[in-house]
Structures are given as structure tokens and as C-alpha cells.
Chains A and B, each alone.
Chain A
Amino acid sequence: MGNLLEHMGVERDRVHFSWISSAEATKFVDVVKEISEKVRALGPNKKFVKDYN
């Protein structure tokens, strides 16, 4: 799914997949930090956002 979104022109770093157990709190923090940084670097998303009217 990430590949197809990327193919359609949605930046790769906007879509992330992870598998985190409820016991892996530190991994969760690390992943969320990484995602936040990558998405922030890309700026606001304008693709696949429904314009209204």
C-alpha cells in the first residue's frame, strides 16, 4: 500500500508501518518520534485531502 501511494505521488515518509507489542513502550516512543520528525520535515500534506466545495 505504501508502494502504491508512493507511486501515485504521496511522499514515502508519510506512510509508516510498525508492529509494536504493548510491552514495547520504548519502541513505541522511538517509532513515534521518528515518524513525527519525518512528517514534519515534509510539511503539511495537500494530497488526498478532501477539499470541501
Chain B
Amino acid sequence: MDTCIQKIRELAADLLERGEVEKVIGFAQGTIPMATSPISVGTKQGVDNLVFNSTCGLNLANFASRQKGKIAIIAKGCDCRNIVTHIVENQLQRDQVYIIGVPCNGMVNKFKIAALFEDEITGFAEDGDTLTVSSSSQTKTLKKQEYLRENCLLCTHKNPVLYDVLAGDLVKEQVLENAFPDVDKIEAMDVDGRWQYFKRLTQNCIRCYACRNACPICYCPTCFVDEAGPQWVGKGQNKTDVDTFHFLRAFHCAGRCTDCGACVEACPMGINVRDFTRKLNKDALELFGWEAGLDISKRPPLDAYSPQDPDDFIK
């Protein structure tokens, strides 16, 4: 990925210079190790601020929508799938966005890396598949492959599905024997075991809604938890209210989630929010043969009716 940033900057500079787009949306280097920040670049000089590395874990699709004028966006596999979803859901017109696709080798799991150190991480560098991470007391060399985010480990769409130009060579897609080992693990528990699992999962949720706000498909003008007249969900730390938020948010993502992992990336408490949406992704695949965001000509399964839709749950 180190080489693709040069290409990204060249492409961005060229697009801005030619006036093809007004802004390029990408990532800028953060002020602390393992952090990047979405940025909008409007001038040719600004393109040097663009970076692309294994810590660009957020999803930029939401930053592309509701922009004035034509924009370019730097999009890895999952970002592209969410741009497709935005186009299908009329949040974005295809001709409004110029997609600089970046074949992706996965993003690193910041919590997993942080857990290796007793103290805070002060340095992070990557060279191909090798990560060098340091704190004030020690430096570790890690293999990137072993510290990928869980969604990246299970990703089968590393390459952009929709793009105007590619900033790097396509990478080999992995074929998984089982795409949902994490869901299977939960499904294997008994009913109370599952209840306890989810109870523990959300016990530290502070309802900051970072998961929702980082989510590229959570773009409702007013989220159901923010409905105030009348109010739909209690707003306190009551466990049932917290779980209602997670459950309903997940359900609203049914058949739309691309498992980009932005929710987990954003959560300050390190909650694996994906445990909710993953089950729905599995169902979407098994019941409808559907993976979100692969084709701009197809409506998501819960958005369309087909006589073949499974209906055995209806008496």
C-alpha cells in the first residue's frame, strides 16, 4: 500500500488541476500513532496531506454524500460497496462521484495491538506486511496479517467493486471455507448463553453513538433513538434501552451492511458491535443469496419483493 499513495496523490492532483472534481475526500495522517482523519482536499497543493495505510479503518462513503459539486473519493473495497449502496439508495448520483479505488490488504486491529502493550503506544510504522509498534518501554515487530481486524480477516471483497480508476494492482481475493465462524460460535450457544453473551457485549456501552455515526448506512436524518416527539426509546443507561438501540440499529442494517467494520473502529469502548450485524449478513446470504453493495442495479432484499422470498416463518 505504500506505493499506492503516490499514485493516489498523482490522481488527486490531476483531477483537481483539470477541474474534473472540486474536492478529493481521503484520509490524512493523524496526530497520534495509528490514527487517521478524514479530510477534504480542494487544492493541488493539499494532496500531499493524503495518506493511505493500514489505519484507515473508517468508511468514507458517508463523507461523500451530501457534498456540493463533483467529488473524488479514495475508496477501499468496503468503501466502494457502501458507495454502491448509497447510489442504490439515492443518497448519491453515480456521476457526482469519481471513485479512486484502492485494492486493500486489510486494516489493523488497533485494540488488539494496544492490548499487547502495558503502556500507551507512541510509535507505529508499517513496511509491507511488517508492523513496528513501540511504546515508551518497548518496541515490537508484528506481522500485519496476524493483527488484522476481524472483518478484514473475513473479507472477500478487498478489491473495489465500482471505480473510475485504480490506485494499485488488484489483490487476490480469499475464498473462505466458512464465511461466518463468529456467528456460528454464537449460534452454537444455548438460548440463555446467547442472551448472556450479548448482555456482556454491551455492558460498557456509553451510548455515544459513535458506531451509528461512523456507519456508512446510518444516514437517517433523525435516528429512531433521537426521535423526540414522541420519544421512541429511553435515553438513559437502562440495559434494555441500550440493547434496544443496538438491536434495532442492527436490524435497520439488515441486507445493507457491508461489514466494513467502521462501527467497531469508532467505538471508544472497543465493543464488537459487528456481533449484531454479522448474523443479519449471514441470513441475507443464506436466505437471499445477497451480499450488500456489489451491484448498482440491484435493490437490497428487504427493499424488494420476489415470489421466491422465503416465507416459511409466516403461519
Chain A nearest CB from B194 CB (Å) reads: 4
- Given A34-B315, A48-B240, A48-B244, decide whether A3 and B196 contact each other with a Cβ distance below 8 A: no
The proximity string for B residues 55-99 relative to A, scoring 1 for CB distances below 8 Å and 0 otherwise, is 000000000000000000000000000000000000000000000
* Interchain CB contact (< 8 A) of A9 among B197, B238, B239, B283: B197
Chain A residues touching B, range: 20 to 34
Binds A, one of B111-119, B160-168, B184-192, B208-216: B184-192
Chain B nearest CB from A2 CB (Å) reads: 6
Measured between beta carbons, the chain A residues less than 8 angstroms from B251 are: 1, 4
Chain B nearest CB from A14 CB (Å) reads: 10
From B201, which residue of chain A is reached at the shortest CB distance? A8
The proximity string for A residues 2-19 relative to B, scoring 1 for CB distances below 8 Å and 0 otherwise, is 111111111100001111
Determine if B219 is an interface residue (Cβ-Cβ < 8 Å). no
Measured between beta carbons, the chain A residues less than 8 angstroms from B187 are: 7
Determine if B50 is an interface residue (Cβ-Cβ < 8 Å). no
Chain B nearest CB from A43 CB (Å) reads: 13
Measured between beta carbons, the chain A residues less than 8 angstroms from B234 are: 50
Q: What number of B residues sit within 8 Å (CB to CB) of A? A: 29
The proximity string for A residues 23-53 relative to B, scoring 1 for CB distances below 8 Å and 0 otherwise, is 0000000010010000000000001111100
Chain B nearest CB from A25 CB (Å) reads: 15
Measured between beta carbons, the chain B residues less than 8 angstroms from A47 are: 195
Determine if B232 is an interface residue (Cβ-Cβ < 8 Å). no
Asked if A8 and B247 sit within 8 Å, CB to CB, the answer is yes
- Given A9-B193, A48-B244, A50-B238, decide whether A17 and B314 contact each other with a Cβ distance below 8 A: yes
Determine if B250 is an interface residue (Cβ-Cβ < 8 Å). yes
Asked if A9 and B192 sit within 8 Å, CB to CB, the answer is yes
For the complex of A and B, 8 pairs with smallest distance between CB atoms: A9-B195, A9-B194, A50-B240, A18-B315, A7-B279, A8-B198, A17-B314, A17-B313
Q: Can you show 24 pairs from A to B with CB atoms below 8 A apart?
A: A2-B313, A3-B279, A3-B280, A4-B280, A4-B283, A7-B183, A7-B187, A7-B194, A8-B194, A9-B192, A9-B193, A9-B194, A9-B196, A10-B195, A16-B315, A17-B313, A17-B315, A18-B315, A19-B315, A34-B315, A47-B195, A48-B244, A50-B234, A51-B238
Q: A7-B183, A8-B195, A17-B314 are in contact. List 19 more A-B contacts (CB 8 A).
A: A3-B279, A3-B280, A3-B283, A4-B247, A4-B251, A4-B279, A7-B194, A8-B247, A9-B194, A9-B197, A16-B315, A18-B315, A34-B315, A47-B195, A48-B240, A48-B243, A50-B234, A50-B240, A50-B241
**Interface positions of B (Cβ within 8 A of A):** 183, 186-187, 191-198, 234, 238-241, 243-244, 247, 250-251, 254, 276, 279-280, 283, 313-315
